[in-house]
Structure 1
Amino acid sequence: MSTAAAQTKGDWVLGNYKGAGYWFPGVIESIGGGKITIRYDDGDRETVGINAVRPYDWMIGMKVECNYKGAGDWYAGKITSLAGEKISIAYDDGDKETTRTGRCRSN
Protein backbone atom coordinates (compact mmCIF):
# COMPACT_ATOMS: atom_id res chain seq x y z
CA MET A 1 0.00 0.00 0.00
CA SER A 2 1.43 3.35 -0.97
CA THR A 3 0.83 6.58 0.84
CA ALA A 4 -0.33 9.73 -0.87
CA ALA A 5 2.48 11.22 -2.95
CA ALA A 6 1.36 14.77 -2.21
CA GLN A 7 0.31 15.27 1.36
CA THR A 8 -0.78 18.85 1.54
CA LYS A 9 -3.96 20.38 2.84
CA GLY A 10 -6.43 20.51 -0.04
CA ASP A 11 -5.06 17.46 -1.89
CA TRP A 12 -7.63 14.95 -3.10
CA VAL A 13 -6.87 11.43 -1.82
CA LEU A 14 -8.52 8.06 -1.23
CA GLY A 15 -9.04 7.05 2.38
CA ASN A 16 -9.75 3.60 3.79
CA TYR A 17 -12.82 4.81 5.71
CA LYS A 18 -13.04 3.13 9.14
CA GLY A 19 -10.56 0.51 7.93
CA ALA A 20 -13.34 -1.29 6.04
CA GLY A 21 -11.14 -2.17 3.06
CA TYR A 22 -12.79 0.21 0.59
CA TRP A 23 -11.27 3.44 -0.69
CA PHE A 24 -13.39 6.58 -0.67
CA PRO A 25 -12.47 9.94 -2.22
CA GLY A 26 -11.92 12.98 -0.06
CA VAL A 27 -9.83 16.09 0.53
CA ILE A 28 -7.12 16.50 3.16
CA GLU A 29 -8.28 19.05 5.74
CA SER A 30 -5.21 18.88 7.99
CA ILE A 31 -1.95 17.01 8.52
CA GLY A 32 0.13 16.62 11.65
CA GLY A 33 1.84 14.06 13.86
CA GLY A 34 1.64 11.32 11.25
CA LYS A 35 -2.12 11.78 10.95
CA ILE A 36 -4.32 13.13 8.17
CA THR A 37 -7.86 14.44 8.58
CA ILE A 38 -9.95 13.74 5.48
CA ARG A 39 -13.25 15.34 4.52
CA TYR A 40 -14.77 12.65 2.36
CA ASP A 41 -16.82 13.63 -0.68
CA ASP A 42 -19.97 12.39 1.09
CA GLY A 43 -19.38 14.85 3.97
CA ASP A 44 -17.98 12.42 6.58
CA ARG A 45 -14.70 13.28 8.30
CA GLU A 46 -12.04 10.99 9.68
CA THR A 47 -8.53 11.33 11.10
CA VAL A 48 -6.30 8.43 10.09
CA GLY A 49 -2.66 7.48 9.94
CA ILE A 50 -0.81 8.52 6.81
CA ASN A 51 -0.62 4.83 5.79
CA ALA A 52 -4.45 4.72 5.53
CA VAL A 53 -4.39 7.19 2.63
CA ARG A 54 -3.41 6.69 -0.99
CA PRO A 55 -3.26 8.96 -4.04
CA TYR A 56 -6.53 9.69 -5.81
CA ASP A 57 -6.19 7.58 -8.95
CA TRP A 58 -9.71 7.20 -10.35
CA MET A 59 -9.93 7.49 -14.13
CA ILE A 60 -12.25 6.66 -17.01
CA GLY A 61 -12.50 2.89 -17.49
CA MET A 62 -11.67 2.06 -13.86
CA LYS A 63 -13.87 -0.40 -11.95
CA VAL A 64 -15.65 1.06 -8.89
CA GLU A 65 -18.74 0.35 -6.84
CA CYS A 66 -21.41 3.00 -6.44
CA ASN A 67 -24.51 3.41 -4.31
CA TYR A 68 -27.04 3.32 -7.16
CA LYS A 69 -29.46 6.25 -6.83
CA GLY A 70 -28.47 6.54 -3.16
CA ALA A 71 -30.62 3.52 -2.29
CA GLY A 72 -28.01 1.95 -0.01
CA ASP A 73 -26.84 -0.99 -2.13
CA TRP A 74 -23.45 -1.01 -3.85
CA TYR A 75 -23.16 -2.08 -7.49
CA ALA A 76 -20.07 -2.65 -9.63
CA GLY A 77 -19.45 -0.69 -12.79
CA LYS A 78 -16.91 1.29 -14.79
CA ILE A 79 -16.31 5.03 -14.78
CA THR A 80 -17.41 6.49 -18.14
CA SER A 81 -16.79 10.17 -17.32
CA LEU A 82 -15.25 12.06 -14.45
CA ALA A 83 -15.22 15.80 -13.77
CA GLY A 84 -14.40 16.83 -10.21
CA GLU A 85 -17.03 15.28 -7.96
CA LYS A 86 -19.34 14.46 -10.90
CA ILE A 87 -18.97 10.85 -12.06
CA SER A 88 -20.81 8.75 -14.65
CA ILE A 89 -20.99 4.98 -14.25
CA ALA A 90 -21.89 2.16 -16.62
CA TYR A 91 -22.97 -0.59 -14.23
CA ASP A 92 -22.18 -4.23 -14.95
CA ASP A 93 -25.94 -4.98 -15.13
CA GLY A 94 -26.43 -2.46 -17.97
CA ASP A 95 -27.79 0.50 -15.96
CA LYS A 96 -26.10 3.90 -16.25
CA GLU A 97 -26.00 6.79 -13.83
CA THR A 98 -24.39 10.17 -13.34
CA THR A 99 -23.84 10.79 -9.65
CA ARG A 100 -21.27 12.22 -7.23
CA THR A 101 -17.97 10.64 -6.25
CA GLY A 102 -19.19 10.60 -2.64
CA ARG A 103 -21.52 7.73 -3.60
CA CYS A 104 -18.69 5.59 -4.96
CA ARG A 105 -15.79 3.53 -3.64
CA SER A 106 -12.97 1.37 -4.98
CA ASN A 107 -11.26 -1.78 -3.78
Structure 2
Amino acid sequence: MAKYTMILAAGILAASAIAAGAQTTGDWVLGNYKGAGYWFPGVIDRVQGNQVTIRYDDGDKETVALRDVRPYNWSIGMKVECNFKGQGEWYRGTISSLAGERIGIAYDDGDKETTKTGRCRSR
Protein backbone atom coordinates (compact mmCIF):
# COMPACT_ATOMS: atom_id res chain seq x y z
CA MET A 1 0.00 0.00 0.00
CA ALA A 2 2.79 2.46 0.87
CA LYS A 3 4.48 1.81 -2.50
CA TYR A 4 1.20 2.46 -4.34
CA THR A 5 0.66 5.68 -2.37
CA MET A 6 4.18 6.86 -3.24
CA ILE A 7 3.64 6.11 -6.95
CA LEU A 8 0.27 7.87 -6.94
CA ALA A 9 1.71 10.88 -5.10
CA ALA A 10 4.61 11.03 -7.57
CA GLY A 11 2.16 10.99 -10.48
CA ILE A 12 0.08 13.79 -9.00
CA LEU A 13 3.21 15.82 -8.29
CA ALA A 14 4.46 15.30 -11.85
CA ALA A 15 1.11 16.41 -13.30
CA SER A 16 1.13 19.46 -11.04
CA ALA A 17 4.69 20.31 -12.05
CA ILE A 18 3.80 20.21 -15.72
CA ALA A 19 0.59 22.19 -15.46
CA ALA A 20 1.35 24.65 -12.70
CA GLY A 21 5.10 24.76 -12.24
CA ALA A 22 4.99 22.47 -9.16
CA GLN A 23 2.76 24.90 -7.25
CA THR A 24 1.39 23.82 -3.89
CA THR A 25 -1.05 25.09 -1.27
CA GLY A 26 -0.02 28.56 -0.11
CA ASP A 27 1.86 29.47 -3.29
CA TRP A 28 1.12 32.71 -5.11
CA VAL A 29 -0.01 31.98 -8.68
CA LEU A 30 -1.82 33.44 -11.66
CA GLY A 31 -5.22 31.93 -12.44
CA ASN A 32 -7.21 32.14 -15.67
CA TYR A 33 -10.32 33.46 -13.93
CA LYS A 34 -13.51 31.98 -15.41
CA GLY A 35 -11.47 30.86 -18.44
CA ALA A 36 -11.65 34.36 -19.93
CA GLY A 37 -8.00 34.48 -21.02
CA TYR A 38 -6.89 36.95 -18.36
CA TRP A 39 -4.48 35.92 -15.60
CA PHE A 40 -5.19 37.20 -12.10
CA PRO A 41 -2.94 36.84 -9.03
CA GLY A 42 -4.00 34.71 -6.09
CA VAL A 43 -2.94 32.09 -3.57
CA ILE A 44 -3.59 28.37 -3.87
CA ASP A 45 -6.02 27.32 -1.13
CA ARG A 46 -6.23 23.67 -2.12
CA VAL A 47 -4.92 21.14 -4.64
CA GLN A 48 -7.03 18.07 -5.27
CA GLY A 49 -6.29 15.79 -8.21
CA ASN A 50 -6.16 17.95 -11.32
CA GLN A 51 -8.09 20.81 -9.66
CA VAL A 52 -6.74 23.85 -7.84
CA THR A 53 -8.74 26.24 -5.66
CA ILE A 54 -7.41 29.79 -5.87
CA ARG A 55 -8.19 32.65 -3.51
CA TYR A 56 -7.61 35.63 -5.77
CA ASP A 57 -6.04 38.83 -4.45
CA ASP A 58 -9.34 40.69 -5.04
CA GLY A 59 -11.19 38.28 -2.72
CA ASP A 60 -12.85 36.02 -5.31
CA LYS A 61 -12.37 32.27 -5.02
CA GLU A 62 -12.49 29.68 -7.81
CA THR A 63 -11.63 26.05 -8.46
CA VAL A 64 -9.95 25.52 -11.83
CA ALA A 65 -8.10 22.84 -13.77
CA LEU A 66 -4.33 22.74 -13.31
CA ARG A 67 -3.92 23.92 -16.91
CA ASP A 68 -5.56 27.20 -15.87
CA VAL A 69 -2.84 28.00 -13.31
CA ARG A 70 0.59 29.55 -13.92
CA PRO A 71 3.38 30.35 -11.52
CA TYR A 72 3.24 34.01 -10.43
CA ASN A 73 5.72 35.73 -12.74
CA TRP A 74 4.92 39.43 -12.62
CA SER A 75 7.99 41.65 -12.52
CA ILE A 76 8.99 45.27 -12.96
CA GLY A 77 8.74 46.24 -16.63
CA MET A 78 5.98 43.74 -17.44
CA LYS A 79 2.81 44.88 -19.24
CA VAL A 80 -0.48 44.42 -17.35
CA GLU A 81 -3.97 45.90 -17.30
CA CYS A 82 -5.30 47.47 -14.11
CA ASN A 83 -8.58 48.86 -12.85
CA PHE A 84 -7.50 52.51 -12.49
CA LYS A 85 -8.54 53.85 -9.07
CA GLY A 86 -11.16 51.08 -8.83
CA GLN A 87 -13.41 52.78 -11.40
CA GLY A 88 -14.25 49.57 -13.26
CA GLU A 89 -12.35 50.27 -16.48
CA TRP A 90 -9.20 48.34 -17.41
CA TYR A 91 -6.20 50.30 -18.67
CA ARG A 92 -2.88 49.07 -20.03
CA GLY A 93 0.31 49.92 -18.24
CA THR A 94 3.73 48.75 -17.11
CA ILE A 95 4.65 47.52 -13.64
CA SER A 96 6.99 50.11 -12.11
CA SER A 97 7.25 48.65 -8.59
CA LEU A 98 6.24 45.55 -6.64
CA ALA A 99 6.06 44.99 -2.89
CA GLY A 100 3.88 42.03 -1.96
CA GLU A 101 0.33 42.92 -2.97
CA ARG A 102 1.26 46.58 -3.59
CA ILE A 103 1.97 47.33 -7.24
CA GLY A 104 3.07 50.53 -8.96
CA ILE A 105 1.69 51.07 -12.46
CA ALA A 106 2.83 53.52 -15.14
CA TYR A 107 -0.18 53.63 -17.46
CA ASP A 108 0.27 53.94 -21.20
CA ASP A 109 -1.66 57.26 -21.14
CA GLY A 110 0.85 58.80 -18.71
CA ASP A 111 -1.07 58.33 -15.43
CA LYS A 112 0.60 56.57 -12.52
CA GLU A 113 -0.78 54.87 -9.44
CA THR A 114 0.13 52.51 -6.65
CA THR A 115 -2.63 49.98 -6.15
CA LYS A 116 -3.19 46.36 -5.15
CA THR A 117 -2.37 43.36 -7.31
CA GLY A 118 -6.04 42.35 -7.01
CA ARG A 119 -6.93 45.23 -9.33
CA CYS A 120 -4.61 44.01 -12.10
CA ARG A 121 -4.48 41.23 -14.68
CA SER A 122 -2.19 40.03 -17.45
CA ARG A 123 -2.65 38.20 -20.73
TM range (shorter): over 0.9
Share of identical aligned residues, percent? Answer: 74
Match of 1:73 among 70, 80, 89: 89
Q: Which amino acid aligns with 2:53?
A: T
What is the correspondence of 1:84-95 to structure 2 with a 5 Å cutoff? 84-95=100-111
SS at match of 1:76: strand
SS at match of 1:51: helix
Offset from partner CA, 1:23-66 (integer Å, 9 cap, x none):
00000000012100000000000000100001100000000000
Structure 2: unaligned runs, 5 residues or longer: 1-17
SS at match of 2:73: coil
Q: Which amino acid aligns with 1:9?
A: T
CA distance in 2 between partners of 1:3 and 1:91 (Å): 31
SS at match of 2:118: helix
Residue 104 in structure 1 maps to residue 98 in structure 2: no
Q: Which amino acid aligns with 1:77?
A: G
Q: Return the offset for 1:6.
A: 2.7
> RCO higher in 1 or 2 (8 Å CA, sep ≥ 6)?
1
Structure 1: unaligned runs, 5 residues or longer: none
The normalised TM-score by structure 2 is 0.84
Aligned residues: 106
SS at match of 2:19: coil
- Which position in structure 1 is the counterpart of 2:76? 60
Q: By percentage of residues, which structure has more helix?
A: 2
Residue 24 in structure 1 maps to residue 40 in structure 2: yes
Q: Which amino acid aligns with 2:110?
A: G
CA distance in 2 between partners of 1:33 and 1:5 (Å): 15
Q: Is the 8 A contact 1:3 1:55 kept in 2?
A: no
The normalised TM-score by structure 1 is 0.97
Query: Which is higher, the Rg of structure 1 or of structure 2?
Result: 2
Q: Return the offset for 1:3.
A: 2.7
CA distance in 2 between partners of 1:25 and 1:78 (Å): 16
CA distance in 2 between partners of 1:33 and 1:6 (Å): 13
